[in-house]
Amino acid sequence: MKKLLIILVCIFIFFEVNSEEEFQTKYYSGKEISMKKCSEYFNNGKIIHSYLSTDNRDKVYIENEKVIFFSHKNKIYELVVKTKKNKTEILSNHEFIENMYCYFLDFDKEKE
């Protein structure tokens, strides 16, 4: 019974990790891609634009969001890296990654 439960949990996690979330905005559609694919595309691509957004409202942490738009084989991708840094350790460079996302952006897809 335990083996069956472990197998079912592993299958669920596998499909949860490999699922690609799609979204639609007014100007483009997008799809979340795996970080493995994203890192390969990023290493072989070209950076188009990037910016850093800082949120200093929290009393304990400084939150940064680095957004990088890059192209690979005539397709546009967006890499988002969210980090946190403890305000008491301002002099050190100890930031930790809170979350990372990567999206394929399709500007040619017709809005449904």
CATH number for the domain formed by residue range(s) 21-106:
3.10.450
User: Is there a contact between 33 and 17 (Cβ–Cβ < 8 Å)?
Assistant: no
- What are the backbone angles phi and psi of residue 66, rounded to the nearest 5°? -100, 120
Q: SS3 of 54, please? A: strand
| Interatomic CA distance for residues 70 and 43, integer angstroms | 10
Residue 7 has pLDDT above 70, yes or no: no
| Interatomic CA distance for residues 29 and 72, integer angstroms | 17
pTM greater than 0.75 (yes/no): no
Residue 15 has pLDDT above 60, yes or no: no
Residue 62 has pLDDT above 60, yes or no: yes
**Mean pLDDT in residue range 30-59:** 88
pLDDT, position 5: 45
pLDDT, greater one: 33 or 24: 33
Domain locations in the chain as residue ranges: 21-106
